[in-house]
Amino acid sequence: ITLTPGTLTLDYDRNEKSYYIHWIDVETVEEADLKKKIIARFERWVGVIFR
C-alpha cells in the first residue's frame, strides 16, 4: 500500500466483518517540521522497546 497525504485506502476483513481505513494526516509541509514530528512521535517508543 502506498499512501500520499490526502488519500486513504480501505480494507475489509470478511472474517472479522470489519473495515479498516488507512490514511495520512499532514499538519505541515515543511520538511524540518515533518522530521521533528515523526521523530518525536516514535523516539519515545523506540527508547521503551530497546531499553
Q: Write the pLDDT tens digit of every residue in 18-43.
A: 999 887 777 777 888 878 877 787 78
Which pTM was predicted?
Answer: 0.39
Whole-angstrom Cα distance, residue 39 to residue 28? 14
Domain boundaries, the chain: 8-49
Whole-angstrom Cα distance, residue 11 to residue 44? 29
